A = this chain, B = another copy of it.
């Protein structure tokens, strides 16, 4: 709740774009908390911030947890920051308990996850693991022509005593806690989601091209009504993507009818398709059928389909999700395995070390919304799982 005051909006949400003064204030407070416990604080060239409790075994890589502190312009109090605070809390309780770990433990604030302030933009985690060149990303500017490089310097100036972290320095494992941003855990009265993957996605655009005609004078048999064919196409696609297991996410979100006049038979329809699934083979098999199904279903109009984006699924398997499950089970929390519908920093971190995520319920699945909410009890259970997972990983790694 203290963090939610930094960038608080009148409607109870948070507006805290990356490395604005309020976001830097979050970094400063957490750095001060870390320093009070004699944790090391480091910042890398892209503004990712690392708070480290030392381990006993020299040369062991850090077992890390964290998320991001920036928000959407009309964001909520929990998206991102709850994962950062879970990591901080985990380090603090382990420290309070006087537990000595072999590996160093780290709490991380990944910079710029929401990516709304700078253009071009990229996640701090993506830059850290080297998936995009740092020079380009530091040259990115915001609406006032402030560069990311200057913004990172502002952060560094606010915490002048912080050390320097090398981009891409190895880690032993990474666990990210995040609100679910979906309604499943709440609806099923579960405490914890053991995240199995970040879903893969395909985005397509469909155009249906018919002929405009007079609604009063043109008989049905002579129409090439783009709306009528689009309805058939949408129905056929819904059938194609129907999944009895309800894992497939199929959405037609934009659907635009032209000319869009009461008395004119529509000559053109444009719509988007958003497909997500944790299994790449399923995405490939069904996504590849879209064009044929559209063409088949449109009885009179021309159809054009283009794919605008395709990203494979990122699976979380092995050590980290196993530790998350073990921690949940041992605490007696009600949990289930589930994929993440949205992207997260853990997607990129998984490129350099074993990674995973833990989800906690969020009210009505609302996120990227000022009304976003999560209960203290749920968040505490999530933080407990993070702490336990760090210790389990410290044993098993």
Q: Which residues of A contact B (CB under 8 A)?
A: 180-184, 187, 199, 201, 203, 213-222, 225, 227-228, 231, 234-235, 238, 243, 246-257, 260-266, 272, 274, 276, 340-342, 365, 367-368
Contact = CB atoms under 8 A, between A and B. Distances in A.
A54 B238 CA distance: 69
A265 B253 contact: yes
Contacts of A266: 252-253, 255
A367 to B, nearest CB: 7
A341 B247 CA distance: 48
A72 B20 CA distance: 55
B274 A219 contact: no
A257 B260 contact: no
Given A215-B274, A249-B219, A255 B227 contact: yes
Given A217-B341, A220-B250, 12 more contacts: A182-B214, A183-B218, A214-B365, A214-B368, A220-B246, A222-B365, A227-B234, A228-B238, A231-B231, A251-B264, A253-B261, A255-B266
A219 B249 CA distance: 7
Contacts of A235: 231, 235
A274 B214 CA distance: 11
Given A214-B342, A341-B218, A274 B262 contact: yes
Given A227-B252, A274-B263, A184 B341 contact: no
25 contacts: A183-B218, A184-B217, A199-B216, A214-B367, A215-B249, A215-B251, A215-B274, A216-B249, A216-B274, A217-B340, A217-B341, A217-B365, A218-B249, A218-B341, A219-B247, A219-B249, A225-B251, A227-B252, A231-B234, A231-B235, A231-B238, A235-B235, A255-B257, A256-B260, A262-B274
A276 B365 contact: no
Nearest to A184: B219
A183 B265 contact: no
Q: Give the one of A187, A251, A263 with max B CB within 10 A.
A: A251
Kindly list the 7 A-B residue pairs having the minimum CB-CB distance in the complex, ordered from nearest: A182-B217, A216-B341, A217-B341, A215-B251, A255-B257, A215-B274, A219-B246
A218 B256 CA distance: 23
Contacts of A228: 238
Given A199-B216, A276-B216, A342-B216, A253 B249 contact: no
Contacts of A246: 219-221
A382 to B, nearest CB: 16
A9 to B, nearest CB: 19
A180 B218 CA distance: 10
Nearest to A201: B216
A336 to B, nearest CB: 12
A184 B225 CA distance: 16
Nearest to A243: B220
Nearest to A216: B341
A260 B255 contact: yes
Nearest to A242: B220
Nearest to A261: B253
A71 to B, nearest CB: 16
Which of A199, A213, A253 counts the most chain B CB atoms within 10 A? A253
Contacts of A263: 251, 253, 274
Contacts of A184: 217, 219, 222
B213 A365 contact: yes
